[in-house]
Amino acid sequence: MATIVIAYASMSGNTEEMADLIKEDLEQAGHTVTLEEIDVLEAHTLTDYDGILIGSYTWNDGDLPYEAEEFYEDLAEVDLTNKRAAVFGSGDTAYPLYCEAVHTFEKQLTQCGATIVQEGLKIEMAPTTDEDYDNIASFSKQFATFFNHIQARS
């Protein structure tokens, strides 16, 4: 099975909860998952994994949180060619750029050569509804299934 890293930034615990649920789902699908806070993870270590998931809340009016800025900048120097990735995050629809950190990280990963394999997951504030939990489970399953298909072809 695949080795997957989940790097996340979370101030209030909302994105961390999403990361924990995704990790649990991926492990149940048989994958090896490393969960790290984004401000302690070295961007170059992403090359050690088959799959990359980045989770971040959006700060203010579409900004990356301060604890993700250095990682984001360092990421620009990493070659992620042939790596598969996806992004998730929490946000607040009161702001015009809802969950913009998801788009910001998707663009950066693409510029580094990674292939974004699915649409980013956006959750309003914290996962609280059945729909939120279903969306997280679907996101996890889709990512896991991608690697299951690769393994089956090998």
The one-letter amino acid code at 1 reads: M
Quote the pLDDT of residue 151. Answer: 52
pLDDT in tens, 34-87: 999 999 999 999 999 999 999 999 998 899 999 999 999 999 999 999 999 999
Confidence of residue 149 (pLDDT cuts 50, 70, 90): low
pTM for the predicted model, two decimal places: 0.95
CB 7 within 8 Å of CB 41: yes
Angle, alpha carbons 71-77-79 (nearest 5°): 110
pLDDT in tens, 105-146: 999 999 999 999 999 999 999 999 999 999 999 999 999 998
Q: Please give the sequence-ordered ranges of beta strands (E in DSSP) within 80-144, or none if there are none.
A: 84-91, 115-116, 121-124
Q: What is the 3-state secondary structure (H, E, C) of 117-135?
A: CCCCEEEECCCCCHHHHHH
* Domains recognised in the chain with CATH numbers: 3-146 (3.40.50.360)
* Closest by CA position to 52, among listed 102, 99, 117: 117
For the record, the structure tokens of 93 come out as 């629809």
